[in-house]
Structure 1
Amino acid sequence: MAQSAHLTTPVDAVVARMRVLDATLPERDGIAVFNRVYLTVTEEFDRLLDSGFFPDHRAATTLNVRFAKRYLTVAEEGRAPACWRPLLQFRRHPGVRPLQFALAGINAHIGHDLALAVVDTCRTLGCEPADLEDEFDRVGDLLGTLEERIREDLMPGPDLLQLADPLTHLLGSWSLERAREATWSAARALWALRGLPDLAEEFAERLDALVGLAGRMLLTPLPD
């Protein structure tokens, strides 16, 4: 009985949906590349959640699920805010490398979706962003470890150094750490503006557009 209960947890449901996408999307598709990355993160999150890594189990679960559902809406339904549109547009472009797809997805998801997920979680749990800071930081640390692995696994080898030079230059302009810091500030600002819905909506739209611009630059096609 305990095992059946575990298999129906919200995080396990998210993992199951990502596994379906992994099995159905073409391997080289840009969304598929990001999905494989995100599936790895979510599986690791689930393991750490069970091990007691997160101080507040309920807050960590709620944040993770609210966060993941924003991506799943894009991947499953194709309804995308501006931050995801470059990846959808270039997902099959032969001149875009897998590393670019992976980091463009992380840029959209961290830079935009995470800020909104923090606000969603605060509303659900009746708390303040400061109450989620530990969970936010630990999720960010997990993503930071994964980003290093992504760069190691997907960066072209020494035999492709001529290609890697412009790729290294392009991707060196984006930093997960800076994105995390900006996202936390954006989440706090959106929460502070919750009593001013028109202003909050305008702020969210500007954030969405700015993150989308960064994503478009990350997806600049490179020569063979």
Structure 2
Amino acid sequence: MSRARGPRRSWRKEATAVGRRLRRGRPTARRRAGGDPEILSLLAAPYGSVEEARDRLDALRREFADRGDDRAVFLTVYARTTEAVAARIERGEFEDPEWVATYLVAFANRYRQACHNYERGALSAVADPWQLAFDSAAEPDSLVAQDALLGVNAHINYDLAFALVDAGIERDRTARYADHCDVTEVLRTIVDDIQDLLASEAPGLVAVDESLGRADERLAIFTIDECRASAWRNAVGLSSRFRLRRWLARRVTGATATGAAYLLLSTRASDSVQGALGEFEAGGEDEGGQGTGVGRN
């Protein structure tokens, strides 16, 4: 394949260019000024329970999907994750199911607040990882894999540390950490389900999964383990009684998640690369030329 002409740039410069390109002219044109009232109504009130978070996240996913809004892609992944953890809470399989429920609700509310601020145009209140994820989903050439990974990155590498602090990790920290690890174990068990959900939206991903055997699943599990372990360490730092340690943990959390988002978006530095990847993802289109995705533009 011939490469697009032009001077070569380091990935850091490409990432910076991507950031400037995505942020130029924001908020994005696909949202009306002030946001969509129906979307805002689903986001305005905080979630008060696991059941409410699960139901309202799924309602939001359906609303996005009906509108062809690619924010539905991450919510498809997130809804499955919430369902799996909620089922284990209901079975009482954590050391402190009540705390895990608080943790799950706090985590969901972090996403809800970011999405609500973005939808209503309060962009100064939206963390960079979420700004980049939402802006990318609003682009007409967004990729299913990008939309999913950008959302997962913002939610785990950024939101999770703060959600753990919201839920409280100081009392009986050993038990809290054990439950945190058990949630990670739940996520390991649904990696195949997540891949199937994404493949239903981007049929070309099936070929990747089949060609890699179990290597991609092992990589996904390793990444989940590392990111969630890092989130716990950052949460411990954010809970410190020392101001410098709290400041450092906040900076590390933001820099890690934002840097990962820029890396995931590096393909946007070349229109030809982004276009080629989009064609590959759509490799399983049906006879009418339409993919099976719920949120594709």
Q: TM-score range by the shorter chain?
A: 0.7 to 0.9
Counterpart residue number, 2:103: 63
* Residue 182 (structure 1) aligned to one of 225, 230, 255: 230
SS in 2 for 1:25: helix
1:144 maps to: 188
> Offset of 1:138 from its aligned partner?
1.6
What does residue 76 of structure 1 align with? 116
Residues 1:98 and 2:137 are matched in the alignment: no
Q: How far 1:95 sits from its partner (Å)?
A: 3.1
In structure 2, the CA distance between the partners of 1:22 and 1:158, relative to structure 1 (3 Å rule), is closer
On the 8 A contact 2:237/2:245 being kept in 1, the answer is no
Shift of the 48–198 alpha-carbon distance from structure 1 to 2, 3 Å rule, reads: same
Equivalent-residue separation in structure 2 for 1:138 and 1:31 (angstroms): 28
Distance 1:19 1:132 in 2: 27
Q: Runs of 4 or more off by more than 4 Å in structure 1?
A: 155-162
The CA deviation at 1:114 is 1.1
SS in 1 for 2:168: helix
The partner residue of 2:154 within 102, 108, 111 is: 108
SS at match of 2:260: helix
Q: Which has the higher Rg, Structure 1 or Structure 2?
A: 2
Measured against aligned partners, the alpha-carbon deviations of 1:134-178 in whole angstroms (never above 9, x if no partner) come to 21112112223333432344255569869x99xx99xx7992222
Name the CA distance, whole Å, in 2 between partners of 1:186 and 1:203: 5
Q: Which residue of 1 aligns with 2:57?
A: 18
Task: Give ranges in structure 2 of 5+ residues lacking alignment.
Answer: 1-46, 119-124, 269-273, 280-297
- What is the CA deviation profile of residues 10-39 of structure 1, one whole-angstrom value per residue up to 9, with x for unaligned ones? 101111221231232146533211112111
CA distance in 2, matches of 1:90, 1:39: 20
- Map of 2:163 onto structure 1: 117
Q: CA 1:38–1:63 in structure 2 vs 1: closer, same or farther (change >3 Å)?
A: same
1:30–1:87 contact (8 Å) kept in structure 2: no
Q: TM-score, with normalisation over the residues of structure 2?
A: 0.61
**1:185 partner SS:** helix
Query: Per-residue deviation at 1:59?
Result: 1.1
Counting only pairs closer than 5 Å after superposition, residues 204-223 of structure 1 correspond to structure 2 as 204-219=250-265, 220-221=267-268, 222=274, 223=276
1:133 aligns with 2:177: yes
Question: Does residue 50 of structure 1 match 2:90?
Answer: yes
Of stretches 150-159 and 204-213 in structure 1, the one that deviates more from structure 2 is 150-159
- In the alignment, is the contact (CA less than 8 A) between 2:94 and 2:179 conserved in 1? yes
Aligned residues: 208
Cα deviation for residue 186 of structure 1 reads: 1.5
Measured at CA, do residues 91 and 117 of structure 1 come closer, stay the same or move farther in structure 2, by a change above 3 Å? same
Q: Does 1:39 align with 2:90?
A: no
> Structure 2 vs 1, CA of residues 85 and 159 (structure 1 numbering), >3 Å: closer, same or farther?
closer
Deviation, 1:204, is 0.7
Further displaced range: 197-206 or 14-23: 197-206
- RMSD (CA atoms): 3.1
Please, what TM-score do these two structures have when normalized by structure 1? Answer: 0.78
Q: Pick the structure with more helix per residue.
A: 1
